């Protein structure tokens, strides 16, 4: 452990390359997604528009999804279970069908396949314009959250460099988490957006803890203050990660599961961005400040 801390202490500038390389790769993944889909994230029906058919019948969702994708090879279709009290009570078929004719073709196939009657299922539709409008407002909310967060941090620390370091760490968490989310093949819904907003709070929490310990306190060396902050920060992160893991194991709701997956990815990414990226930037800042 002593040798590891000694390496961490002496090689902090080289370790800064790790988060920077991860960020570059993440931007590449997001760019690849945009080139192939026209969007920087895989959106679900609630964000891009489409229809959802809910059926009060439990079937094999893997087999049904495979059947529908074979029947409609050009359509974007996802089948998921509807859960209640920890057990499946029905299924939901999300698709990019946005007009009555397309939805009717889909429901006709479902009626034949699952032996359904009209009263056995319900259909909800969301227009693309409504989904785009909602997504645009969410992006505005994220930008405003970042601006206000940066303002509060700058007022607290009264120094530009540490404030920018905290904001960079939070932005890095969002970008890398988004890239990994795209790689999972999941579709981002409104619940996922809420998870990204929560992730900003979790990220800032550990970064403000680190910056406060390193910049505001004077006792001990810089490295000793970093280690003290790390003990507290890692305890917070491990506690949260444990709770999220338990939720992923026992919770069956797809909405909550997406929130937990995004938070799990984001908090693991935050460990790198806080304790490699932010620590190195703060130490470089203090070293240069000391030289002047």
CB atoms within 10 A of CB 207: 28
Both tokens assigned to 61: 């969702």
Q: What CATH code is carried by the domain that includes residue 213? A: 1.20.1640.10
Q: How many residues does the chain have?
A: 292
- The predicted structure's pLDDT at residue 290: 67
Domain that holds residue 65: 50-126
CB 200 within 8 A of CB 149: yes
- Give tens-digit pLDDT for 271-283: 999 999 999 999 8
SS3 56: coil
Q: How many domains does the chain have?
A: 2
Q: Are residues 278 and 185 in the same domain?
A: yes
Model pLDDT for residues 162-211, shown as the tens digit of each residue:
888 888 998 999 999 999 999 988 888 878 888 888 888 888 888 888 88
pLDDT at 232 over 70: yes
Q: In this structure, are 28 and 82 located in the same domain?
A: no
Shared-domain flag, residues 244 and 135: yes
Q: Pick the closest to residue 170 from 198, 189, 190 (CA basis).
A: 198
């Amino acid at each position: 452990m002593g040798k590891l801390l000694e390496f961490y202490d002496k090689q902090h500038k080289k370790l800064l390359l790790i988060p920077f390389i991860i960020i570059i790769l993440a931007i590449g993944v997001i760019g690849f997604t945009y080139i192939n889909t026209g969007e920087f994230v895989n959106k679900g029906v609630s964000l891009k528009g489409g229809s959802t058919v809910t059926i009060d019948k439990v079937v094999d969702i893997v087999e049904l999804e495979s059947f529908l994708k074979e029947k409609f090879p050009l359509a974007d279709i996802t089948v998921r279970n509807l859960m209640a009290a920890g057990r499946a009570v029905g299924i939901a078929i999300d698709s990019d069908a946005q007009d009555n004719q397309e939805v009717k073709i889909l429901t006709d196939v479902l009626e034949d396949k699952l032996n359904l009657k009209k009263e056995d299922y319900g259909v909800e539709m969301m227009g693309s314009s409504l989904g785009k409008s909602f997504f645009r407002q969410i992006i505005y909310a994220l930008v405003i959250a970042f601006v206000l967060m940066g303002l509060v941090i700058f007022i607290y620390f009264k120094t530009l460099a540490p404030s920018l370091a905290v904001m960079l760490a939070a932005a890095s968490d969002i970008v890398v988490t988004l890239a990994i989310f795209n790689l999972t093949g999941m579709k981002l819904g409104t619940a996922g957006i809420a998870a990204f907003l929560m992730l900003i709070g979790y990220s800032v929490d550990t970064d403000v803890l680190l910056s406060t310990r390193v910049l505001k306190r004077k006792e001990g060396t810089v490295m000793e203050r970093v280690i003290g902050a790390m003990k507290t920060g890692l305890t917070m992160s491990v506690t949260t990660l444990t709770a999220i893991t338990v939720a992923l194991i026992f919770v069956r709701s797809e909405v909550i599961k997406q929130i937990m997956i995004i938070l799990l990815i984001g908090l693991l990414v935050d460990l790198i961005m806080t304790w490699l990226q932010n620590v190195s930037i703060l130490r470089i800042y203090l070293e240069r400040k000391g030289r002047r």
